[in-house]
Amino acid sequence: MSEATKAVVKDVTTMASPVSLKFRARAGKDLSRFLRGMKERRIVGRVCPSCNYVYVPPRGACPTCGCPMGDERVLPETGTITTFCIVNIPFEGQKLKPPYVCASVLLDGADVALFHLVGGCDVNEVRMGMRVRAEWVDEADAELSLETIRYFVPTGEPDRPLAQIREHI
Amino acid sequence: MSTFNTSREEIAIVSFVELSPAEASQLDEIETIQTIVSRATDGAGIARDRIGFTVSGSCDMLVGRPFSWIMAMDGAGVSKPIEESHVEMDGAWALYEAWVRLQHGDIDAALIYCFGANAAEDLMQVLALQLDPYYLAPTGINAAEVAALQASAMLASGATERQFAEVAVRAGLAVSVEAALAEPYLHRPLRASDLPRFSDGAAAMVIARGDYARSVCARPAWIQSMAHIADGHSLGARDLSKSPSLEKAARLAGVGAKATQIVEVHAPFGPQEVIALEALKQAGLSADAKVNPSGGTRAAQSVMVAGLAAIGRAASAIHRGEASRTVGHASSGPALQHNLIAVLEERS
Amino acid sequence: MKQRCAVLGIGQTHHAAKRGDLSMSGLVREAALRALDDAGMTFDEIDAVVMGKAPDFFEGVMTPELYLADALGAAGKPVFRVHTAGSVGGSTAIFATHLVTSGIHKRVLTLAWEKQSESNAMWALSPKYPFSPPTTAGAGGYFAPFVRAYIEFTGAPEHIGWQVAYKDRIHALKNPYAHLQMPEITIDMVKNSPVLWDPIRYLETCPSSDGAGAMILVSEDVAEASGKKVAWVHGTANRTEAILYPRRNQVLPQAGSDCAKALYKEAGITDPKREIDTAEIYVPFAWFEPMWLENIGLADANDGWKMVDSGDTMLGGRQPINPSGGVLSSNPIGASGMLRFLEAAHQVRGTAGEHQVEGAKKALGHAYGGGSQYFAMWIVGAEKP
């Protein structure tokens, strides 16, 4: 590089090296059935034939027993918030405008909590033990996705005592 | 100055299963792991509570999301905490970690599993991300083109395209040498029959010590030794027509100490098999050893699985009583950069 | 049977939000060369290299141990890559230890690193992957609900989080390698910082760093022949559990307490509260300090926050926790576990410098990863085990 060029060209310290990759994602057998249920606005869990725990969303195998899942079980739309956080921070790819609430929701009859959003109330009203129900998107907008549940909203029932949810955080 | 000692404990491969590409393509990662792990343990009469260590191999870049192996682990049934590890490498290196762990003599058995997803639209482009990110990857060269550079270097140092074609026939990727040579070049001097056919896949293995190995397996495949060595990375700084790392690993593992009947080689590109066999011969591999009697892994290549599969198949030949000494080879990286050797034996 | 293993060399980079002066190769070499120099060795004497780091998506390099073999003098040697999420730095050191304790190698270079500035970590962690719930809220959003549960169930006052955050930044001022250097830090600053993931405040979270840590692990004969002060490995343990199963305790995971129990058994420790002089534990959010103290038995159930409140965990306190400033002051993700392990080794060698815990004879290194499901720990001592 000539002295004249050096005078106008700064040292190279970084270079952009963009990478773009495309993948085909596969939902698998069990999750596919759950997602088809979502499109019909139904919550379809699965029962482990060995430990009898009810999983939702169902997984390809029972993490407790390591065996394939058993029968389907349609679950009610109601449940209890076991714990939550209020997201105040904006970040790339975020779909909702902060503040919003992310919560673990233990559906009635399920043995694992579902991580989802809470809406329909002020973020500061959300409590551990609060009773909620699924608020669905319109039938026409139902997708093969958990996003077919728009969020969970308070039912107004009395809270469940903390002692009852302690094991389901 | 440097030290490389081999096995102090009696350790054997007692169980090995792989999933067919057709079956693997129907399952997600959790279902895949559930299937192979239960076949390799329960299916082989191995009690889960005798397994003291579990280790898996996989690569997020094949699946397209970070931490892909964490969900997959659900298939192994681990609500009670286990001693566990994961390598972002071919399952063959997971086997190596398990083999090292069993050397301590305090646990009886270890479970190894691995999975590879053929989910990328262009896997040759994904594999190119293994290259030096500053000097090589930005050139846009893909993995097949790197292999073509290597094949060219081989031709320049005396190899022939006929040799490549013979490898293609052995792998079931061409009906005859003439047919292979009649194919057009895809990445000169590579033809379609020199390239791997990528597939979904998964494999699981159980290794065990001494008496426990004998109690669960009629003919355990004893791991006489294992060794792995990497070459340098920079393509310009290597003689691509040779594999010094494979030759060194094979010497350290004692490949030439006794006659070997079967060798299962994991070379993703056909010409690399020629290099691998030459390196193994330099290290004393029997000239009459059968090469890839299983058909090899190139016709259905599941990345991160194929290396463990080659070793597993070498073990299965002993399990079935078809051989008393076999060698399994696994490789990794651009232009066969990293190589692992397992020497397996039957013992009375 | 099992051979003894010692830490002969320790090295780390100066951690920073962006080490724009170094490539990835340069970053790992800075740590490796310092560790070799500390051990009085060169790359030629190393038998094997064991590398760890978090997802390849962070830098966009797949299986980077292959490309980095050149920078680490590893051509012609075994190179290994471990990946167990956030615990990887610990798991990597444990496998490297096993290479020595199994008698296979005598001199192993182990190293863990992350160069987060080369990519966008938030993007790498949250790709547009179908089927997943719409609630991805980053690591803080994942862990904040468990912090809330801890506070709810123990009745801990909110100033505990502020106090841990303040303490680790004060400790970092004594560690020239730490990323965050905040001489102006006060408890009020933490208290007044914005709530990002309620109940977690901005200054209660870790930074995002470029950095690497390295150690030279050697066999007993090599350690003795060196004539140097070494840290002896008294025990290692790792435990893993699934991310979600019924009645899983994500606040105090069983994998963490099982791991600690196995560790103490191997290291011959019966009273960890008294026998361990100091611990470096993986605390990316301030509230994880009291949680992990309870989980690994350094505090009784529900009492972790009281131990923090009493000042016991400050340098000069009864059992200083994270005298280096911890993950709250430097977080090159894949390296963070290795830094915990090597800082523990520094303490028992007496080479920690300004953040030395006086007279430390036994120290614990701890790392965790995934959804609080991967745990890796070790105990090192000034004397042979």
Looking at the structure, tell me whether residues B161 and B304 fall in a common domain: no
Of residues C57 and C52, more confidence is placed in C52
**What does the pLDDT look like over A70-124, one tens digit per residue?**
999 999 999 999 999 999 988 766 777 889 999 999 999 999 999 999 999 999 9
Which of B63-72, B114-123, C129-138 has the largest mean confidence? B114-123
Tell me the per-residue pLDDT of C203-256, one tens digit each, with 9 for 90 and over.
999 999 999 999 999 999 999 999 999 999 999 999 999 988 999 999 999 999
State the nearest Cα–Cα gap between C349 and chain B, in angstroms: 26
Which pLDDT value is given to residue B71? Answer: 85
Asked if B73 and B183 sit in the same domain, the reply is: no
A137 touching C (Cβ < 8 Å)? no
Percent of residues in chain B assigned helix, strand, coil, to nearest 5? 40, 20, 35
Residue B102 resides in a domain: yes
Confidence of residue C189 (pLDDT cuts 50, 70, 90): very high
Q: Establish if C181 touches chain A: CB-CB under 8 angstroms.
A: no
Provide the pLDDT for residue A15. 80
Evaluated on CA atoms B46, B47, B48, B54, the torsion sign reads negative
pLDDT in tens, C104-152: 999 999 999 999 898 776 667 666 667 666 556 677 888 999 999 999 9
Supply the pLDDT for residue A14. 79
What is the rounded distance in angstroms from the CA atom of residue C323 to the CA atom of residue C55?
28
Query: Does residue B3 sit within a domain?
Result: no
- Whether residue A61 lies within 8 A of chain B, CB to CB, comes out as yes
Residue B96 confidence (pLDDT): 98
Distance from CA of B243 to the nearest CA of A (A): 30
pLDDT given for residue B341 in this prediction: 98
> What rounded mean pLDDT belongs to chain C?
95
* Residue B168 placed within a domain: yes
Residue B258 sits at the chain C interface (C-beta within 8 Å) = no
Examine the domain organization and report whether B205 and B229 are in the same domain.
no
The span from the CA of B224 to the CA of C29, in Å, is 35
In a shared domain, residues B93 and B240: no
Residue B282 lies in a domain: yes
Give per-residue pLDDT as tens, B135-163: 999 899 999 999 999 999 999 999 999 99
What is d(CA B325, CA B342) in angstroms, rounded to the nearest whole number? 11
Are A66 and B26 a contacting pair at CB < 8 A? no
Same domain, B15 and B138: no
Rounded distance, CA A78 to CA C297, Å? 38
Q: What percent of chain C is predicted at pLDDT more than 70?
A: 96
Q: Tell me the percentage of chain A whose pLDDT exceeds 70.
A: 95
Residue B1 above 80 pLDDT? no
| Mean pLDDT, rounded, for C186-192 | 98
Q: What is the pLDDT of residue C123?
A: 66
Of A13, A35, A83, the CB nearest to C146: A83
**pLDDT of res. A17:** 80
> What pLDDT score does A96 carry?
78
Strand partners of residue C197: A87, C200
pLDDT score of A60: 85
Q: How far apart are CA C222 and CA C100, in angstroms?
A: 11
Are B115 and B26 members of one domain? yes
For residues B203 and B76, membership in a common domain is answered with yes
Calpha distance A168→C304 (Å, rounded): 22
> Which of A18-22, B57-61, C188-192 shows the lowest mean pLDDT across its residues?
A18-22
CB < 8 Å to A67, chain B: 34, 38, 77
The alpha-carbon gap from C275 to the nearest alpha carbon of chain A, in Å, equals 32
Rounded Cα distance, A114 and C369, in Å: 21
B10-69 residues touching C, CB cutoff 8 A:
54, 59-61, 64-67
How far, in Å, CA of C383 to CA of C369, rounded? 30
Q: Is B107 at the interface with chain C, CB within 8 A?
A: no
Say whether residue C23 is in contact with chain A using an 8 A CB cutoff: no
Work out how many domains chain B is built from and give that number.
3
Classify residue B230: in a domain, yes or no. Answer: yes
B6 occurs within a structural domain: no
B135 lies in the same domain as B238: no
Report the gap between the CA of A156 and the closest CA in chain B (Å).
Answer: 35
CB contact under 8 A, B67 and C106: no
Neighbours of chain C (3+ CB pairs under 8 A): A, B
Tell me the chain A residues in contact with residue C144 when contact means C-beta distances shorter than 8 Å: 85
Question: What does the pLDDT average to over C271-279?
Answer: 98
* DSSP SS3 for C321: strand
User: Looking at CA atoms only, how far is residue B30 from chain C in angstroms?
Assistant: 12
Q: Where are the beta strands (DSSP E) in chain B?
A: 11-18, 51-57, 84-87, 109-116, 185-187, 190-191, 201-209, 221-230, 262-264, 290-291, 325-332, 338-345
* Chain C contact present for A103, CB below 8 A: yes
Most A CBs within 10 Å: which of B30, B79, B130, B198, as the mutation test of the A interface?
A: B30
User: Do residues B128 and B241 both lie within one domain?
Assistant: no
Residue C367 has pLDDT above 90, yes or no: yes
Let me know whether B250 and B320 are in one domain.
Answer: yes
Residue B5, domain member (yes or no): no
Same domain, B38 and B105: yes
B chain contacts of residue A60, beta-carbon cutoff 8 Å: 27-32, 34, 74-75
Q: Is the pLDDT of residue A8 over 80?
A: no
Instruction: Identify the pLDDT of residue A25.
Output: 84
CATH code (residue B322)? 3.40.47.10
CB contacts of C145 in chain A (<8 Å) are 83-85, 102-104, 169
pLDDT at C134: 57
State the residue range of the domain holding B96.
11-121+198-216
Cα–Cα distance, B266 to B132 (Å, whole number): 23
Residue B245 lies in a domain: yes
What angle is formed at CA B24 by the lines to CA B19 and CA B29, rounded to 5 degrees? Answer: 105
> Are B153 and B231 contained in the same domain?
no
Span A21-31, average pLDDT: 85
